[in-house]
Amino acid sequence: MVMQHTSLENIYKEITLLPDTQRDKLYNRIKRDFYQKNEIIAYTTDGQALTIEKYRKRVKAGINQCIKGESISLQDVTEELGYIYADL
């Protein structure tokens, strides 16, 4: 199998040859995928912006910590934050 090198210029030429409807669909799909992956969907407690990819990594890391027993109880968290557990 011979691998063909595709340059950005060749891709651009191929896209410009597409019929308008196909080109619009491709553009919208690329735009949607880009914004979904790069859109800020949440912030950390210290204000760090999280994209969906970063958010999922943090959730997965948290789940893995729980599985490994590396978590603390809600009661311990509330005490660290200065709340009374019973008030929650």
Could you tell me how far CA 49 lies from the centroid of its own chain? 11
Question: Are 32 and 44 in the same domain?
Answer: no
**Which residue range is the domain that position 30 belongs to?**
7-38
Local confidence band at 1 (pLDDT 50, 70, 90 cut-offs): very low
Average pLDDT of the segment spanning 52-74: 89
Q: Is residue 2 part of a domain?
A: no
- Give the number of domains in the chain: 2
Interatomic CA distance for residues 71 and 65, integer angstroms: 6
Q: Mean pLDDT for the chain? A: 84
Considering the domain architecture, whether residues 55 and 76 belong to the same structural domain is answered as yes
Q: Is residue 41 classed as helix, strand or coil in its secondary structure?
A: strand
Report if residue 30 sits inside a domain.
Answer: yes
Rounded to whole angstroms, how far apart are CA atoms 29 and 47?
30
- Give the Cα separation of 32 and 24 in Å (integer): 12
pLDDT in tens, 32-55: 777 777 788 889 989 999 988 899
20 and 49 inside one domain: no
- Is residue 5 over pLDDT 70? no
pLDDT of residue 46: 92
Whether residue 60 is contained in a domain is answered as: yes
